[in-house]
Amino acid sequence: MTLKPSTRSDIESFRALENLREANERVLRGENIIRLEAGQPCFGAPEKALEHARDVIKSDPRQGYTESLGMALLRDRIAVHYRNFYGIDLPYNRVAVTAASSTGFILTFLAAFDAGDKVAVTNPTYPAYRNILRSLNLEVVELETTAESNYQPTAALLEKSGKKFDGLIINSPANPTGAMIDGDELKKICAWCDANGVRLISDEAYHGVTYEDKAPTALQFSDNVIVTNTFSKYFAMTGWRLGWLVLPENMTDRIKRLAENLFVSPPTIAQHLAYKVFDHTDILDGYVRHYRTNRDILKTHLPEAGIKNLSAAKGAFYLYADLSDLTNDSEQFCRRMLDEAKVSATSGVDFDPKRGHTTMRLSYAGKPEDMQEACRRIKEWLE
């Protein structure tokens, strides 16, 4: 007898990770692939912080569990970061350390919503929101943004949509467009959510990776917001799988009960590394300057190669390219670009199921020489 799997596990793949797997395989087979598919820094955590982590392993090889919301020392260090970076006073017990923001989303969605509740995302968006929400039996409400509206929601758009929802996820700077929400608009969005009983979840994964203005945190404008963040991007600790949440006071105990039952505790050694990584923002800011150089290379040379319509990219490390003059099948376009030009990127269908067949995301967290080479290969291929 064949037993049935759950319907809620029948979700879409995360195509960027599928592409990562395929590119890894090709590299192992000896192919020379330029990697623009995955959103991960080509750098590691600063050496001094790594040295500290090595010392911790030497002095305590056992590395047991920590408290389920993370080591008090690290939660406090994160609270200090809010004071230094945003000028916000945050009691450390509003911070919950998670095994990267991906588990932070599960905890947040479980703590904030009941099965059947509606949560809005703005397409194009980070695809895992939609897929995690569906796997938790939450209904996804899709709001469309466009290049003309800066690929970000506004309070006016939320009002005009006429749609009803219990939660809204925003992400600034955004994956896949690099678009940002400025402080005035963020304040209006927070006020709109508070006035309409909508739980706002602000994914601030790319804070620190900005090229013009610093990104404001939604914590400045609402006491109800849940902020998700990660050590994977600005802090260049992608594989260490560590992140954090900032919670309203009345949510912390709920998140604690969920976290201890679902995950027991976040990775211990990663927490030791994260504690020290805050001391090396000079190095991390150097990484950001490097991403900016990469962005500028792509913005100059991709149009010469034939990819002309690129998102503004004020933060994060992605360009969202409109390919409508080149294809109406971006999945096939990306497949051929990988096969024939040996450049790996992600089709827009991941980020926007309806309109993504004419778009593609390029990640520029790699080496500058790879950016130059990618443009050269794409130019030759499109010619």
Ligand X SMILES: Cc1ncc(COP(=O)(O)O)c(C=O)c1O
Residues at the interface with ligand X (CB under 6 A): 39, 100-102, 126, 171, 175, 203, 205, 230, 232, 238, 243
What single-letter amino acid sits at 315? G
By beta-carbon proximity to ligand X, the closer residue of 82 and 305 is 82
Output the smallest distance, CB 340 to ligand X, in A: 27
By beta-carbon proximity to ligand X, the closer residue of 243 and 267 is 243
For 95, the token pair is 């911070």
What single-letter amino acid sits at 241? R
For 204, the token pair is 């601030």
Output the smallest distance, CB 105 to ligand X, in A: 7
Output the smallest distance, CB 269 to ligand X, in A: 16
Which string of DSSP letters, residue by residue, matches 290-311? HHHHHHHHHHHHHHHHT--EE-
Query: Taking the CB of residue 207, how many other CB atoms lie within 10 A of it?
Result: 23
By beta-carbon proximity to ligand X, the closer residue of 166 and 203 is 203
3-class secondary structure per residue, 205-228: CCCCCECCCCCCCHHHCCCCCEEE
Output the smallest distance, CB 242 to ligand X, in A: 8
Query: First vs last Cα of the chain: how many Å apart?
Result: 55
Output the smallest distance, CB 327 to ligand X, in A: 24
By beta-carbon proximity to ligand X, the closer residue of 19 and 377 is 19
For 337, the token pair is 């670009």
| Dist CA 3 CA 14 (whole Å) | 26
Output the smallest distance, CB 195 to ligand X, in A: 26
Instruction: Give the closest residue to 352 by CA, choosing from 121, 181, 197, 159.
Output: 121
Q: Is 106 helix (H, G, I), strand (E, B) or coil?
A: helix
Output the smallest distance, CB 350 to ligand X, in A: 11
By beta-carbon proximity to ligand X, the closer residue of 180 and 305 is 180
Q: 119-141 as b/e, with b when 16 or more CB fall inside 10 Å? A: bbbbbbbbbbbbbbbbbbebebb
For 317, the token pair is 């490390």
By beta-carbon proximity to ligand X, the closer residue of 245 and 321 is 245
By beta-carbon proximity to ligand X, the closer residue of 305 and 362 is 362
